[in-house]
Structure 1
Amino acid sequence: MMEIPAINLKAIVLVHWLLTVWACMEGLPLSYAWGNLSVLAVGVWAIAQRDSIDAVLLFLLGMILTILTDIIQFGIYYPLNDFKAVRGFSAGMAILNLLLKPASCFFVYQMYRERGGDYNVNFGFPSVSRNRDTYQSIDHQEESSSPANPFNQAQDSKPGVRTY
Protein backbone atom coordinates (compact mmCIF):
# COMPACT_ATOMS: atom_id res chain seq x y z
CA MET A 1 0.00 0.00 0.00
CA MET A 2 1.25 3.46 -0.83
CA GLU A 3 2.27 5.76 2.01
CA ILE A 4 0.37 9.06 2.21
CA PRO A 5 2.85 11.96 2.22
CA ALA A 6 2.84 14.11 5.32
CA ILE A 7 1.67 17.58 4.39
CA ASN A 8 2.10 20.29 6.98
CA LEU A 9 -1.07 22.13 8.03
CA LYS A 10 0.88 25.38 7.89
CA ALA A 11 1.64 24.79 4.21
CA ILE A 12 -2.02 24.10 3.44
CA VAL A 13 -3.17 27.28 5.18
CA LEU A 14 -0.40 29.37 3.60
CA VAL A 15 -1.10 28.17 0.04
CA HIS A 16 -4.87 28.72 0.38
CA TRP A 17 -4.33 32.12 1.98
CA LEU A 18 -2.07 33.24 -0.87
CA LEU A 19 -4.48 31.99 -3.52
CA THR A 20 -7.42 33.63 -1.73
CA VAL A 21 -5.62 36.97 -1.55
CA TRP A 22 -4.76 36.79 -5.25
CA ALA A 23 -8.32 35.75 -6.10
CA CYS A 24 -9.72 38.76 -4.24
CA MET A 25 -7.81 41.28 -6.34
CA GLU A 26 -10.77 41.92 -8.62
CA GLY A 27 -13.97 40.37 -9.87
CA LEU A 28 -15.30 38.32 -6.96
CA PRO A 29 -17.58 39.66 -4.20
CA LEU A 30 -16.60 40.29 -0.59
CA SER A 31 -18.47 37.14 0.43
CA TYR A 32 -15.74 35.10 -1.30
CA ALA A 33 -13.05 36.79 0.80
CA TRP A 34 -15.02 36.57 4.05
CA GLY A 35 -15.87 32.92 3.57
CA ASN A 36 -12.40 31.75 2.63
CA LEU A 37 -10.47 33.95 5.07
CA SER A 38 -12.70 32.96 8.01
CA VAL A 39 -12.08 29.28 7.24
CA LEU A 40 -8.37 29.99 7.06
CA ALA A 41 -8.62 31.66 10.49
CA VAL A 42 -9.97 28.36 11.81
CA GLY A 43 -6.97 26.73 10.12
CA VAL A 44 -4.68 29.03 12.11
CA TRP A 45 -6.53 27.88 15.25
CA ALA A 46 -5.87 24.25 14.23
CA ILE A 47 -2.18 25.10 13.83
CA ALA A 48 -2.01 26.84 17.22
CA GLN A 49 -3.69 23.99 19.09
CA ARG A 50 -1.95 20.90 17.80
CA ASP A 51 -3.96 18.47 19.92
CA SER A 52 -7.40 19.92 19.22
CA ILE A 53 -9.65 17.55 17.32
CA ASP A 54 -12.40 20.17 17.13
CA ALA A 55 -10.18 22.76 15.45
CA VAL A 56 -9.04 20.45 12.67
CA LEU A 57 -12.60 19.09 12.21
CA LEU A 58 -14.04 22.60 11.88
CA PHE A 59 -11.28 23.50 9.43
CA LEU A 60 -12.10 20.40 7.37
CA LEU A 61 -15.84 21.16 7.38
CA GLY A 62 -15.16 24.80 6.49
CA MET A 63 -12.99 23.76 3.55
CA ILE A 64 -15.72 21.43 2.32
CA LEU A 65 -18.35 24.18 2.62
CA THR A 66 -16.19 26.71 0.79
CA ILE A 67 -15.87 24.27 -2.11
CA LEU A 68 -19.65 24.53 -2.52
CA THR A 69 -19.83 28.30 -1.97
CA ASP A 70 -16.91 28.94 -4.35
CA ILE A 71 -18.68 27.02 -7.12
CA ILE A 72 -21.87 29.01 -6.54
CA GLN A 73 -20.03 32.35 -6.51
CA PHE A 74 -18.11 31.51 -9.69
CA GLY A 75 -21.38 30.69 -11.39
CA ILE A 76 -22.94 33.98 -10.36
CA TYR A 77 -20.04 36.45 -10.48
CA TYR A 78 -17.60 35.13 -13.05
CA PRO A 79 -16.92 37.98 -15.48
CA LEU A 80 -18.20 37.06 -18.92
CA ASN A 81 -17.50 40.45 -20.45
CA ASP A 82 -15.13 43.34 -19.78
CA PHE A 83 -12.15 40.99 -19.55
CA LYS A 84 -9.01 42.51 -18.02
CA ALA A 85 -5.69 40.83 -17.31
CA VAL A 86 -6.05 41.37 -13.54
CA ARG A 87 -9.57 39.96 -13.53
CA GLY A 88 -8.39 36.91 -15.49
CA PHE A 89 -5.50 36.39 -13.05
CA SER A 90 -7.85 36.67 -10.07
CA ALA A 91 -10.29 34.22 -11.60
CA GLY A 92 -7.47 31.81 -12.38
CA MET A 93 -6.19 31.92 -8.80
CA ALA A 94 -9.71 31.39 -7.45
CA ILE A 95 -10.18 28.37 -9.71
CA LEU A 96 -6.76 26.99 -8.72
CA ASN A 97 -7.72 27.49 -5.06
CA LEU A 98 -10.94 25.55 -5.68
CA LEU A 99 -9.12 22.73 -7.46
CA LEU A 100 -6.64 22.33 -4.60
CA LYS A 101 -9.31 22.22 -1.88
CA PRO A 102 -10.33 18.54 -2.29
CA ALA A 103 -6.70 17.45 -1.93
CA SER A 104 -6.32 19.75 1.08
CA CYS A 105 -9.48 18.27 2.60
CA PHE A 106 -7.99 14.79 2.20
CA PHE A 107 -4.79 15.79 4.01
CA VAL A 108 -6.69 17.65 6.74
CA TYR A 109 -8.86 14.56 7.25
CA GLN A 110 -5.68 12.51 7.72
CA MET A 111 -4.55 15.03 10.36
CA TYR A 112 -7.96 14.76 12.02
CA ARG A 113 -7.49 10.99 12.31
CA GLU A 114 -3.91 11.41 13.59
CA ARG A 115 -5.18 13.71 16.36
CA GLY A 116 -7.56 11.02 17.53
CA GLY A 117 -10.69 11.80 15.56
CA ASP A 118 -13.10 9.00 14.75
CA TYR A 119 -13.67 7.67 11.26
CA ASN A 120 -17.30 8.63 11.60
CA VAL A 121 -17.94 12.28 12.33
CA ASN A 122 -20.07 12.81 15.44
CA PHE A 123 -21.90 16.11 15.70
CA GLY A 124 -22.97 15.53 19.31
CA PHE A 125 -26.43 14.19 18.56
CA PRO A 126 -27.57 11.38 20.86
CA SER A 127 -27.53 7.94 19.35
CA VAL A 128 -28.86 4.54 20.32
CA SER A 129 -26.29 1.88 21.04
CA ARG A 130 -26.81 -1.87 21.39
CA ASN A 131 -23.55 -2.42 23.27
CA ARG A 132 -24.51 -3.69 26.71
CA ASP A 133 -21.00 -4.40 28.00
CA THR A 134 -20.89 -1.23 30.09
CA TYR A 135 -24.20 -1.85 31.89
CA GLN A 136 -24.18 -3.10 35.45
CA SER A 137 -26.65 -5.74 36.48
CA ILE A 138 -29.16 -4.73 39.15
CA ASP A 139 -28.84 -8.24 40.63
CA HIS A 140 -25.38 -7.40 42.02
CA GLN A 141 -25.12 -4.56 44.51
CA GLU A 142 -21.94 -2.74 45.40
CA GLU A 143 -20.08 -4.34 48.28
CA SER A 144 -19.90 -1.07 50.19
CA SER A 145 -23.68 -0.75 50.60
CA SER A 146 -25.84 -3.16 52.52
CA PRO A 147 -29.61 -3.67 52.79
CA ALA A 148 -29.61 -2.16 56.28
CA ASN A 149 -27.85 0.95 55.00
CA PRO A 150 -29.32 1.62 51.51
CA PHE A 151 -28.02 5.21 51.11
CA ASN A 152 -24.46 4.27 52.14
CA GLN A 153 -24.52 6.65 55.10
CA ALA A 154 -21.84 6.63 57.73
CA GLN A 155 -23.05 4.92 60.91
CA ASP A 156 -22.01 7.72 63.25
CA SER A 157 -23.64 10.57 61.32
CA LYS A 158 -26.70 12.35 62.63
CA PRO A 159 -30.04 10.81 61.66
CA GLY A 160 -31.76 12.66 58.84
CA VAL A 161 -28.49 14.05 57.40
CA ARG A 162 -27.37 12.37 54.20
CA THR A 163 -23.78 12.34 53.08
CA TYR A 164 -23.43 12.57 49.33
Structure 2
Amino acid sequence: MNYMFPGSYAWGNFSVLAVGIWAIVQRDSLDAIMMFLTGLLLTVLTDIIHISVFYPSNNHLTDVKRFSIGMAIFSLLLKPVSCYLVYRMYQERGGEYTFNIGVACARRDRSTYEPIDQQDAPPQWPDSSKTAQQPY
Protein backbone atom coordinates (compact mmCIF):
# COMPACT_ATOMS: atom_id res chain seq x y z
CA MET A 1 0.00 0.00 0.00
CA ASN A 2 1.29 3.44 -0.90
CA TYR A 3 1.20 5.76 2.12
CA MET A 4 1.18 9.52 1.86
CA PHE A 5 3.36 10.37 4.87
CA PRO A 6 6.23 8.41 6.47
CA GLY A 7 5.83 6.46 9.68
CA SER A 8 7.31 9.28 11.77
CA TYR A 9 4.19 11.37 11.11
CA ALA A 10 1.90 8.71 12.56
CA TRP A 11 4.26 7.82 15.44
CA GLY A 12 4.58 11.46 16.47
CA ASN A 13 0.87 12.19 16.43
CA PHE A 14 -0.19 8.92 18.07
CA SER A 15 2.38 9.26 20.84
CA VAL A 16 1.12 12.78 21.60
CA LEU A 17 -2.41 11.37 21.61
CA ALA A 18 -1.33 8.73 24.16
CA VAL A 19 0.25 11.40 26.38
CA GLY A 20 -2.95 13.43 26.04
CA ILE A 21 -5.05 10.53 27.26
CA TRP A 22 -2.64 10.12 30.18
CA ALA A 23 -2.93 13.86 30.96
CA ILE A 24 -6.72 13.71 30.97
CA VAL A 25 -6.90 10.59 33.13
CA GLN A 26 -4.37 11.82 35.69
CA ARG A 27 -6.01 15.05 36.77
CA ASP A 28 -3.56 15.98 39.53
CA SER A 29 -0.39 15.73 37.44
CA LEU A 30 1.10 18.95 36.12
CA ASP A 31 3.89 17.02 34.43
CA ALA A 32 1.47 15.08 32.25
CA ILE A 33 -0.33 18.18 31.01
CA MET A 34 2.98 19.99 30.40
CA MET A 35 4.30 17.02 28.41
CA PHE A 36 1.09 17.01 26.38
CA LEU A 37 1.40 20.73 25.65
CA THR A 38 5.05 20.35 24.67
CA GLY A 39 4.20 17.41 22.44
CA LEU A 40 1.44 19.35 20.72
CA LEU A 41 3.78 22.25 20.05
CA LEU A 42 6.43 19.92 18.65
CA THR A 43 3.96 18.15 16.38
CA VAL A 44 2.87 21.50 14.95
CA LEU A 45 6.43 22.00 13.79
CA THR A 46 6.89 18.44 12.53
CA ASP A 47 3.51 18.44 10.76
CA ILE A 48 4.50 21.57 8.85
CA ILE A 49 7.74 19.87 7.82
CA HIS A 50 6.01 16.61 6.83
CA ILE A 51 3.33 18.34 4.78
CA SER A 52 5.78 20.61 2.99
CA VAL A 53 8.33 17.89 2.22
CA PHE A 54 5.99 15.05 1.28
CA TYR A 55 3.36 16.99 -0.67
CA PRO A 56 3.01 15.22 -4.05
CA SER A 57 2.98 16.89 -7.42
CA ASN A 58 -0.40 17.56 -9.06
CA ASN A 59 -0.19 14.72 -11.58
CA HIS A 60 0.12 12.14 -8.77
CA LEU A 61 -2.84 13.27 -6.64
CA THR A 62 -5.50 10.62 -6.23
CA ASP A 63 -8.66 11.10 -4.22
CA VAL A 64 -7.23 9.18 -1.26
CA LYS A 65 -4.06 11.30 -1.22
CA ARG A 66 -6.05 14.50 -1.56
CA PHE A 67 -8.25 13.47 1.36
CA SER A 68 -5.27 12.51 3.56
CA ILE A 69 -3.53 15.83 2.83
CA GLY A 70 -6.75 17.68 3.62
CA MET A 71 -7.12 15.90 6.95
CA ALA A 72 -3.47 16.55 7.82
CA ILE A 73 -3.88 20.26 7.08
CA PHE A 74 -7.14 20.35 9.05
CA SER A 75 -5.41 18.69 11.99
CA LEU A 76 -2.59 21.21 11.75
CA LEU A 77 -5.08 24.10 11.76
CA LEU A 78 -6.81 22.74 14.89
CA LYS A 79 -3.61 22.23 16.88
CA PRO A 80 -3.17 25.88 17.98
CA VAL A 81 -6.71 25.80 19.38
CA SER A 82 -5.86 22.55 21.16
CA CYS A 83 -2.67 24.10 22.54
CA TYR A 84 -4.65 27.03 23.94
CA LEU A 85 -7.19 24.72 25.59
CA VAL A 86 -4.47 22.50 27.04
CA TYR A 87 -2.69 25.58 28.40
CA ARG A 88 -5.94 26.65 30.08
CA MET A 89 -6.19 23.19 31.64
CA TYR A 90 -2.62 23.60 32.86
CA GLN A 91 -3.53 26.90 34.53
CA GLU A 92 -6.66 25.42 36.10
CA ARG A 93 -4.60 22.63 37.65
CA GLY A 94 -2.42 25.17 39.39
CA GLY A 95 0.43 25.45 36.94
CA GLU A 96 2.08 28.80 36.53
CA TYR A 97 4.35 29.53 33.64
CA THR A 98 6.22 32.80 33.73
CA PHE A 99 8.48 33.73 30.88
CA ASN A 100 11.65 35.27 32.25
CA ILE A 101 14.55 36.21 30.00
CA GLY A 102 16.75 37.30 32.88
CA VAL A 103 16.47 41.07 32.47
CA ALA A 104 14.24 41.68 35.43
CA CYS A 105 15.03 39.78 38.58
CA ALA A 106 12.28 38.16 40.55
CA ARG A 107 11.59 39.81 43.87
CA ARG A 108 9.45 38.63 46.71
CA ASP A 109 6.77 40.78 48.20
CA ARG A 110 7.86 41.00 51.80
CA SER A 111 4.99 43.17 53.01
CA THR A 112 3.18 40.15 54.42
CA TYR A 113 6.37 38.39 55.49
CA GLU A 114 6.45 37.48 59.14
CA PRO A 115 9.80 36.23 60.43
CA ILE A 116 9.72 33.47 62.99
CA ASP A 117 12.89 34.48 64.78
CA GLN A 118 12.09 38.04 65.77
CA GLN A 119 14.56 39.52 68.23
CA ASP A 120 12.26 42.37 69.32
CA ALA A 121 9.22 40.32 70.17
CA PRO A 122 8.57 39.57 73.84
CA PRO A 123 9.02 35.93 74.77
CA GLN A 124 5.90 33.88 74.71
CA TRP A 125 6.78 32.01 77.90
CA PRO A 126 8.10 33.69 81.06
CA ASP A 127 11.76 33.19 81.79
CA SER A 128 12.03 30.83 84.77
CA SER A 129 15.37 32.26 85.92
CA LYS A 130 13.97 35.79 86.39
CA THR A 131 10.80 34.93 88.19
CA ALA A 132 10.73 35.27 91.93
CA GLN A 133 10.74 32.06 93.80
CA GLN A 134 7.49 31.34 95.51
CA PRO A 135 7.68 30.91 99.31
CA TYR A 136 6.47 27.57 100.57
Supply the distance in 1 between the matched residues of 2:27 and 2:118 (Cα, whole angstroms).
46
Q: Which has the larger radius of gyration?
A: 2
Equivalent pairs: percent with the same residue? Answer: 54
Q: Is the 8 A contact 1:26 1:86 kept in 2?
A: no
Q: 1:32 to 1:131 in 2, by over 3 A?
A: same
Aligned to 2:107: 130
Secondary structure in 1 aligned to 2:5? coil
TM-score, with structure 2 as normaliser = 0.71
Residue type of the partner of 1:68? L
- For 2:7, the aligned partner's letter is L
Q: Which runs of 4+ in 1 moved over 3 A?
A: 132-140
Deviation at 1:61, TM superposition (A): 1.2
RMSD: 3.0
- TM alignment of 1:33-112, pairs within 5 A: 33-80=10-57, 81-112=59-90
Bigger Cα displacement from structure 2, 113-122 vs 25-34: 113-122
Whether the aligned pair in 2 keeps the contact of 1:46 and 1:59 (CA below 8 Å) is yes
Point out where structure 1 has 5 or more consecutive residues left out of the alignment: 1-24, 123-127, 144-164
From the superposition, tell whether residues 119 and 73 of structure 1 become closer, same or farther in structure 2 (CA, over 3 Å): same
- The CA deviation at 1:91 is 0.7
CA contact (8 A) 1:26 1:90 kept: no
- What do residues 48-76 of structure 1 show as CA deviations (whole Å, max 9, x unaligned)? 10111111111111111111110011111
Give distance in 1, aligned partners of 2:17 and 2:73.
17
Structure 2 unaligned residues grouped into runs of 5+? 124-136
Q: Is the Cα–Cα contact under 8 Å of residues 70 and 98 in structure 1 kept in the other structure?
A: yes
Q: Per the alignment, in what secondary structure is the counterpart of residue 101 of structure 1?
A: helix
**How many equivalent residue pairs?**
116
Report the TM-score when normalising by structure 1. 0.60
